[in-house]
Amino acid sequence: MKMIHTYCIGKAHELIVKEIYSKGYERITTKGEKTLEIDGSCIVIDNPFTEPMVSDKAAFGRMFAEQYADQILHGTKADFDYTYHNLLFRYEYDLNGPACNIFNQVEYVINELREHPTSRQAVMSLWNPPVHFDMENCPCLNHVQCVIINGKLCMNVTFRSNDMCAAFGQNAFGLVHLQKYIADALGLPVGRYQHISLIPHIYIIRDKNDIERLVGVD
């Protein structure tokens, strides 16, 4: 697993794409697209609100990243198979009956850490096997953990698969705003952000121009 410990999301975005571009191996996806991937990555950012939070080489700009963060926190009216907002704030589950129950995982994490500041159980799951195993575009983000370390609210996230060129930057930007939302509710400063990707990859043909801009190819 590739470890990257850097000072901001924008720099992490550039470094991980360079790593995959230079050392990745080819894999053809189930949809026939050519990718390069590496065997996992762990990106650690000690102060995730340090600028630049968005690389000036990224295909998306600050406004897009802020809209993405807002959708995680407040939802969207767009019609998607799933949204991270709904999985985090309105997780649907069914226990022994047809009625659908709604569980606010973010509220649970806040309450758990408020009552038990040393808890390791402030975990949110975004994977629902009966629903997602047969979904064509199932959630890439599967796991979010919050933990208080040295008086700061830290966050660990795990992606089963992560497009590091087109998605990582906005994913991280949005999730650290979720981290701040939870930290503010607890009256704590934001601590480090750790982003684990089990299969980090880039779409070498589809995103060729964006990749070359990020890695500095002339």
Residue 120's identity, in one-letter code, is R
Rounded to 5°, the CA angle 66-72-74 comes to: 95
Q: What is the pLDDT of residues 49-81, one digit of tens each?
A: 999 999 999 999 999 999 999 999 999 887 777
Question: Across-strand partners of 124?
Answer: 144
Is the model's pLDDT at 197 over the cut of 90? Answer: yes
The pLDDT of residue 89: 96
The pLDDT of residue 98: 52
Query: 85: pLDDT confidence band, cut at 50, 70 and 90?
Result: very high
Sequence-ordered alpha helix ranges (H) in the chain? 9-23, 62-74, 84-89, 105-115, 129-132, 168-186, 208-215
Q: By three-state DSSP, how is residue 114 classified?
A: helix
Average pLDDT, the chain: 93
Closest-CA residue to 14 (of 157, 189, 217, 211): 211
Q: How far apart are CA 152 and CA 53, in angstroms?
A: 20
Q: What is the pLDDT of residues 120-166, one digit of tens each?
A: 999 999 988 767 667 777 899 999 999 999 999 999 999 999 999 99
Write the DSSP assignment of 143-170 as a string of letters. Answer: EEEEEEETTEEEEEEEESSEETTTTHHH
* Class of residue 170 by CB neighbours under 10 A (exposed 0-12, middle 13-18, buried 19+): buried
The pLDDT of residue 152: 98
Domain boundaries, given as residue ranges, for the chain:
2-215
Q: How far apart are CA 114 and CA 186, in angstroms?
A: 7
Q: What is the pLDDT of residues 136-145, one digit of tens each?
A: 778 999 999 9
The pLDDT of residue 209: 96
* CATH number listed for the domain at residues 2-215: 3.30.572.10
Percent of the chain with pLDDT over 70: 95
